[in-house]
Amino acid sequence: MKNKYWVALSSIEEIDSSFIQRLYNYFGDIETAFNANDLSAIDGLSVRKAENFFRIRDKVNPDKAVEKVAERGIKYLTFEDENYPKMLHNIDNPPSVIYYKGDLFDCNLNKTLAVVGSRKASTYAKDALAKIISEFQNTDICIVSGLATGIDTTAHISALENNLKTIGVIASGFDFTYPAANKDLYKRIENGNGAVLTEYYPTFEPLKFRFPQRNRIVSGLSYGTLVAEASLKSGALITSNLTLEQGRELMCIPGLITNPNTQGIYKLLKNGASLVTCADDVLEALGWEVKMEQQTLFNLPDLSEDEKCIYDALEIEDKCVDELQAFTKLSIDNLLMYLTTMELKGIIKQVDGDRYKRVV
The pTM of the full predicted model, rounded to 2 decimals, is: 0.80
d(CA 253, CA 248): 17
Helix, strand or coil, per DSSP, at residue 180: helix
- List the end-to-end C-alpha distance of the chain, in Å, as a whole number: 56
Report the alpha-carbon distance of residue 5 to residue 23 in Å, rounded: 12
Give the pLDDT of residue 291: 61
319-320 sheet: strands from edge to edge: 319-320, 355-358, 348-351
- pLDDT of the chain, 360 residues: tens digit per residue: 789 999 999 999 999 999 999 999 999 999 999 999 999 999 888 899 999 999 999 999 999 999 999 999 999 999 999 999 999 999 999 999 999 999 999 999 999 999 999 999 999 999 999 999 999 999 999 999 999 999 999 999 999 999 999 999 999 999 999 999 999 999 999 999 999 999 999 999 999 999 999 999 999 999 999 999 988 888 888 899 999 999 999 999 999 888 888 999 999 999 999 999 999 999 999 999 886 544 444 456 678 899 999 999 998 888 999 999 999 999 999 999 999 988 888 888 888 778 998 876
How far apart CA 148 and CA 162 sit, in angstroms, is 20
HEC secondary structure over 108-173: CCCCEEEEECCCCCCHHHHHHHHHHHHCCCCCCCEEEECCCCCHHHHHHHHHHHCCCEEEEECCCC
Would you state the pLDDT for residue 358?
Answer: 86
CB 168 within 8 A of CB 186: yes
CB atoms inside a 10 Å sphere around CB 111: 18
Residues with Cβ within 8 Å of 155's Cβ and at least 6 positions away in sequence, in order, are 115, 129, 133, 143, 145, 166, 228
Cα 73 to its chain centre, rounded Å, is 25
pLDDT of residue 149: 94
Q: How far apart are CA 100 and CA 159, in angstroms?
A: 19
Look up residue 294 and give its amino acid: Q
Q: What gap in Å lies between CA 66 and CA 55, rounded to an integer?
A: 20
Phi, psi of 19 (to 5 degrees): -65, -45
Residue 215 to residue 238: CA distance in whole angstroms:
7
Q: What is the 3-state secondary structure (H, E, C) of 77-111?
A: EECCCCCCCHHHHCCCCCCCEEEEEECHHHCCCCC
- CB of 335 closer than 8 Å to CB of 324: yes
Q: Which residues, 6+ apart, have CB-to-CB distance to 125 below 8 Å?
A: 117, 118, 151, 228, 229, 253, 255, 261
